[in-house]
Structure 1
Amino acid sequence: MKIRNSVVAAAVITATAISLAGCSGGTGNTGNAGTNNQAAGGEPSGTLTGLFSSVFKDTYEQIAADFEKKYPKVDVKFDYQGGDVGALVMTQLQGGTAPDILTSFPGGTKTDAADTVVSLAASGRIAPLEAPWVEDVPDAWKPSVNYEDKTYAYPGALQPLAGIYNKTKLDELGLKIPTTLDEVYKLCTAAKDAGVYAYSLGLGDPAGPQMLTYSQLATLEKDPNQFDADLAAGKKTYADSVWVDQFGIYKKMGDAGCFGEGALGRSRDQAGQEVAKGSALASVDVGAMLGQLQKMAPESSFQVAAMPATNNATDTKVVALPGYVNTINAKAKNPTAAQAFLEFMGEPEPSAIYAKGFASVPVLANDVYKAPEELAAFADLINRGAYAPLGTVQSEVQAQLNQALQSLILGDSTPRQVAEKMDTVYKK
């Protein structure tokens, strides 16, 4: 089975998809020319290279500056790339020009073609980490950064897959963020009465429809790992699971006008714009959208909240997604400085800087990080353990899911038929 790569990728590249396509990147040439060939061990010194997304340049540059203060003998020379950083990393690894520190995706499988932690570690392209914080990685996130009981990546921060609400517009209309499923339906009705609509989803995007489903499955599916095992063993099917319950919620929301007019033609970019200008009250997407809403509507306040799927508020969990992770090139020219940098990133202050830059919550808990108001509810759920990692699904099933959900909204499929279509493409 494959991790839901399209959603994990969305968690870290949505920023470019939502109004940041014009960000300038680096040269794209991050070869190790000029770095010192320092052997592992000893005091860090020489040149340290790395490749990161240009969207988060300010964050990395701040951490790099603090790292140089701690290790004045190291000269940090990072490069930044717009667009598909992962593809560039793979190209450089294959060509032998990759820098010391790489941007990678969490988790994955040994057969992934992409730059996931597991595939890179299994192929010997990244080095295991020696940082003391590896012992502090929560069990839920070890599959994202580990391979064969060794840690290969700095886990970074957790983004939500949740409702992202225009709190200013809600307050203007005298409405509140729902905490139960019935309150979700009531919000849809109240929004229509006020001349707006409740949830602006990117239902016209290939990966857009699944967001609401995954956000509510965190609450409905009590043990996703067991479900995956039962699915593989033939003991369960999608049509005989809580997935059908979520599809029923989806249809009821659609029939109630929760998604507004023309929902199936709306991209995720357009969905965000609708929320930013107050035509819609919220979207359901990855946390990367939050920063873009704040840029589009700087005078408005926004808040992230889990999507209820039952009428018991204490049941509600939120999906938490690790975004980009950082790894060390197994052929790094400065492995000592690279190890020192990733160890440094796990310290409380750099970890808090990183989380703030990614509009996220640190994977490695610390007392320095203070969640901003818009993420306070999400951080509280993480601290209370009321969260679920993104489960697993085959890519063919995921594609069928998105197509079938569009059919559901059109009224051409029932909730059970959506699940049955997923079952037809599932491979044991």
Structure 2
Amino acid sequence: MKIPARTAVGFLLAAGLTLTACSTSSSGPDANAPSDGSVGGTLTVVYDSTFKTALEPVVEAFEQKYPGTTVDVNYIGGDVENLMLTQIQAGTAPDVFLTFPGSGETMTIESLASQGYLLDLSDSPWVADIPQALQEDMEYQGRTYAYPGTLQGLGGVYNKTRLQELGLEIPRTWTDVLELCESAKDAGAYAYAQALNDPSGPQMLYFALTGTLLYGPNPDFATQLQEGQTTIPDSPWRVAFEKYAEMNDAGCFGEGVLGRSAAQSYNEVAAGAALALVSVGANLAPIQEAAPDSEFTVAALPATDNPDDTYFTALPGYTLSVNAEAKNPTAAEAFLDLLAEPEHINQYAEGFASVPAIPNDSFTPPATLEEFNEAVAEGRTAQLASWPNPSVNDVAQQGVQALLLGDDTVDGVLEEMQEAYES
């Protein structure tokens, strides 16, 4: 029986930002691998220009380790998924390229591996170290086809400077969350700048809540749902939507939440008008840029009154795969092996405001990621919802808006999600 795998929504969250800039290098000559099977020649790579600074040190280290080898990186912007898919289908894809974890969309590992587009990496030295919770997302039919890269947390991005000014603290229980909302209002601010007018905005809060309420304590929920042992309306998804509505009724989201864009939410937190934003860690960057003199951090969002219950929702970002028709497969595999070395993956993780997906003892997280890194090390992380089709999450996001407008009920939203699941 096939268990529904995570859709590419995980990556869309990981990116966190709309990819618009395009900074592309020349395509370079065809890769030529040495005839003796050694690492050399030209290695071609396609990568997202948004995260160019994360990859550049790895490229430099690889060329230093293998003198005479050239890494030709094509940094692309815009719709990375469709641009890459076009190259793959046209047979012009490079040796190494970005993929998305899991399945359900065109550029996911399972989708590409099932069509024979990816090289089997199961014998790579880092495969045995992939955390169990991530293994399924890197595999197709029990074989590994991608290096997992980094993990980032989905929780509260807090303006610590503003909290300290108001004498407030990051909440550690659900009661604390509601009290923070009340205290923020008393101070002329509001607690959480959710961007419900952004395409990915409504999902952020329920993914954070269900990490603690469902997917952390019960990682087998997707299997149970598929086998008919439960339904979405009978699951803790109900509690998550009830808490979403409770936060809205408590004024946690401030005025105009249904019309708020992502950019507006960043600016509100940066300015201290809002104290936090429940989102992915990547969104810390634009907030910090807008308020360089303020201190921020990322913390798990509690959903119960027992701090020991709290899980930090964690999600992989881009994964890296090797073209099954790579012109220089030896160099391609060596490139991923080098990236997996602690020195290089640690530096790479910094470029994503993330932590290495495969933990190592030499990684020292920045202060903003200390709590998340600790949760990863302790196994207190939860993954995203696992749906057989993306329409379930689409219905959930639309349901948030309808619920807060008073146009639907929790029961109604859950039943609509179940119908989408079964369709």
* Normalised TM-score (structure 2): 0.94
Which residue in 2 is equivalent to 1:92?
Answer: 87
- Taking the aligned partners of 2:390 and 2:22, their CA distance within structure 1 comes to 32
Are 1:159 and 2:152 an aligned pair? Answer: yes
**Offset of 1:427 from its aligned partner?**
1.0
Which residue in 1 is equivalent to 2:29?
Answer: 33
| Preserved CA contact (<8 Å) 1:401 1:418 | yes
Give the alignment partner of residue 43 of structure 1, picking from 38, 42, 53: 38
Give the alignment partner of residue 227 of structure 2, picking from 233, 249, 258: 233
**Offset of 1:376 from its aligned partner?**
0.4
- Taking the aligned partners of 1:159 and 1:333, their CA distance within structure 2 comes to 32
Which residue in 1 is equivalent to 2:168?
Answer: 175
**Offset of 1:5 from its aligned partner?**
2.2
| Preserved CA contact (<8 Å) 2:191 2:275 | yes
Which residue in 1 is equivalent to 2:422?
Answer: 427
Q: Alpha-carbon deviations, 1:42-78, whole Å to 9, x = none?
A: 3211111101111111221111101111111211111
Aligned residue type for 2:367: E
| Preserved CA contact (<8 Å) 2:10 2:316 | no
Aligned residue type for 1:9: L
**Offset of 1:407 from its aligned partner?**
1.3
**Offset of 1:233 from its aligned partner?**
2.8
Give the alignment partner of residue 3 of structure 1, picking from 6, 10, 16: 6
Aligned residue type for 2:9: S
**Offset of 1:224 from its aligned partner?**
4.4
Aligned residue type for 1:262: G
Which residue in 1 is equivalent to 2:117?
Answer: 125
Which residue in 1 is equivalent to 2:359?
Answer: 365
Which residue in 2 is equivalent to 1:70?
Answer: 65
- Taking the aligned partners of 1:65 and 1:398, their CA distance within structure 2 comes to 40
| Preserved CA contact (<8 Å) 1:156 1:322 | yes
Which residue in 1 is equivalent to 2:18?
Answer: 16
| Preserved CA contact (<8 Å) 1:215 1:318 | yes
| Preserved CA contact (<8 Å) 1:9 1:105 | no
Q: Alpha-carbon deviations, 1:177-228, whole Å to 9, x = none?
A: 0000000000000001111110011111232111111101111115544322
Q: Alpha-carbon deviations, 1:366-389, whole Å to 9, x = none?
A: 122100000001111111111111
Q: Alpha-carbon deviations, 1:200-259, whole Å to 9, x = none?
A: 111112321111111011111155443222322333222111111111111110001000
Q: Which runs of 5+ in 1 are unaligned?
A: none
1:233 and 1:131, CA in 2 relative to 1: closer, same or farther beyond 3 A? closer
Structural mapping, 1:188-227, within 5 Å: 188-221=181-214, 223-227=217-221
Q: How many residues align?
A: 417
Q: Which runs of 5+ in 2 are unaligned?
A: none
Aligned residue type for 1:312: N
| Preserved CA contact (<8 Å) 1:275 1:281 | yes
Aligned residue type for 1:100: D
CA RMSD of aligned residues (A): 1.7
Runs of 4+ in 1 over 4 A off after TM superposition: 222-225
What is the percent sequence identity of the aligned residues? 45
- Taking the aligned partners of 2:17 and 2:155, their CA distance within structure 1 comes to 16
- Taking the aligned partners of 2:5 and 2:61, their CA distance within structure 1 comes to 37
Give the alignment partner of residue 77 of structure 2, picking from 59, 78, 82: 82
1:292 and 1:76, CA in 2 relative to 1: closer, same or farther beyond 3 A? same
* Normalised TM-score (structure 1): 0.93
- Taking the aligned partners of 2:218 and 2:24, their CA distance within structure 1 comes to 40
Structural mapping, 1:242-321, within 5 Å: 242-321=236-315
| Stretch moving more, 2-11 or 78-87 | 2-11
Aligned residue type for 1:295: E
Aligned residue type for 2:50: V
Which residue in 2 is equivalent to 1:404?
Answer: 399
| Preserved CA contact (<8 Å) 1:15 1:55 | no
